[in-house]
Every structure is written in C-alpha cells, then in structure tokens.
Amino acid sequence: MKKILLVLALTLSLFLVACNNEKPLEALDVTIVSESYVYDTLDVDVLVVLEGLEEKDLVEIANAVASKIYMQYSNEIHDTNVTLTIRLYSTQTAVDESNADYGVVTYEINQSFDKPGLAPGTFEN
C-alpha cells in the first residue's frame, strides 16, 4: 500500500511540475531621466515606455526604482527623514512638460527612529 501511495505521489508531483506554464520574463524599457537630492527631498523622474500598464504594474516599477535609489543614496541619507518622490512618465514629451501622466509614487525614508528605512509608497494618478 505504501509503495502505491508513493508511486501516485511521485506521478502527481511530476505531472504538476510538467504543467508549469510561466511566461518568460521580459526586460522593461524603464529609464531614470533625472534625480535630485536636496536635504530632505529626493525627486526622481522615470520614463516608462510601455503601454497597457495597470496601477499595480506602475507601483511595482516605482518600488524597484525606489529600492535602487534608496541604496544609491543610503550613505548620504543616514538617519535623516527624507521624502522620495518618483514621477512616472509615458513619453519624453511628458517628461519635457513635467506631466507625470503615469502617476506619482511618494515614499518616506526614515519616518522615525522606530521605522527606519524605506516605507511603502502611496500612488497618486
């Protein structure tokens, strides 16, 4: 009986592994156009040349950029409370006109001594 259950479990696990239908990962066309750090504000403009993005996709892109920027400036920030603002643009024209048509995500860095580091962002469209 144990052998039959073992064979069935192995067969089922092989079947489930074979059914993996993941799409291959694709590189995103995301460019940090500008970044400015002045004492307690860090402003970043990001050009995202992709269409059909949902809010969750834009927040995920902004989170990746925020993490990169946070690591880049962590030695300069130390324990200072900093507001990180990431503006997301769909075209270079939108960047030139300062029209963040994909939205703005704002993060707080080092909110307090109890909450150091990068806090979750708030998305505004």
Q: Looking at residue 108, what is its pLDDT?
A: 96
Residues 6+ apart with CB under 8 A from 94: 100, 101
pLDDT of 29 = 81
119 close to 107: Cβ distance less than 8 angstroms? yes
Closest CA to 87 of 61, 119, 116, 117: 61
pLDDT < 70 stretches in the chain: 5-7, 10, 12-27
